[in-house]
């Protein structure tokens, strides 16, 4: 069973991105999804690379142990949440061997608007490819995310469920190659 590290872009306890991950944890029992906490990371500063702060070292070591990464995030102001961008920055160095180099990654975005975070998804994929990650060439963007869950936070939209299930199964195959 592959160990897939999960980065949830929203730090909110009521996050729709977290609800998507909760659904995937229940529906994709053949995968070992491990949520990775990045909210404790100090802001990236290259001056600190001489003796990296312990939070960076631990985070990098955990990511190094993952077979792949799944990023599920909302779009914030047509871009990426700041904490997630900081986590990507921390993982993209030190060069030449970035911690996400050649790491299989799938990006899923969501938003309350129609486009589902397409701008953020594209931006994240661009950043990851620049850092040498092996990003799955899929654009998974869930629009009107507030309408797909019931009052208990359970996914109720069968089309979205089918799309997510298919994408994650394809990603599991992608990560093994």
Domain locations in the chain as residue ranges: 3-176
Give the mean model confidence (pLDDT) for residues 8-33.
93
Contacts for 64 with CB less than 8 Å, ≥ 6 apart: 99
pTM for this structure?
0.96
Say what angle helices 16-27 and 158-176 make with each other, to 10 degrees: 70
pLDDT of residue 167: 96
Angle (CA) 19 108 45, round 5° = 100
How many Å apart are CA 141 and CA 40, to the nearest integer? 27
Q: Is the pLDDT of residue 97 over 80?
A: no
CA torsion sign for 108, 113, 114, 117 is negative
pLDDT of residue 50: 87
pLDDT of residue 96: 60
Tell which wins on pLDDT, 97 or 27. 27
Q: Percentage of the chain with pLDDT > 70?
A: 98
Q: What is the pLDDT of residues 130-169, one digit of tens each?
A: 999 999 999 999 999 999 999 999 999 999 999 999 999 9
Q: Percentage of the chain with pLDDT > 90?
A: 88
pLDDT of residue 52: 85
Neighbours of 36 (CB within 10 A): 15
Domain 3-176 indexed as CATH 3.40.50.720: no
């Amino acid at each position: 069973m592959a160990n897939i590290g999960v980065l949830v872009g929203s730090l909110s306890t009521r996050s729709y991105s977290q609800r998507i991950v909760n659904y995937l944890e229940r529906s994709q029992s053949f995968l070992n999804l491990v949520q990775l906490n990045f909210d404790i990371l100090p802001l990236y500063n290259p001056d600190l690379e001489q003796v990296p702060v312990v939070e960076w070292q631990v985070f990098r070591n955990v990511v190094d142990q993952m077979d792949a990464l799944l990023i599920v995030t909302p779009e914030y102001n047509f871009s990426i949440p700041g904490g997630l961008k900081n986590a990507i920055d921390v993982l993209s160095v030190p060069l030449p061997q970035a911690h996400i180099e050649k790491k299989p990654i799938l990006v899923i975005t969501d938003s309350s608007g129609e486009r589902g975070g397409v701008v953020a998804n594209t931006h994240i994929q661009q950043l990851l490819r620049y850092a040498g990650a092996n990003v799955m060439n899929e654009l998974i963007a869930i629009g009107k995310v507030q309408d797909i869950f019931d009052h208990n936070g359970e996914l109720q939209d069968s089309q979205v469920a089918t799309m997510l299930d298919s994408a994650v199964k394809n990603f599991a195959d992608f990560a093994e190659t």
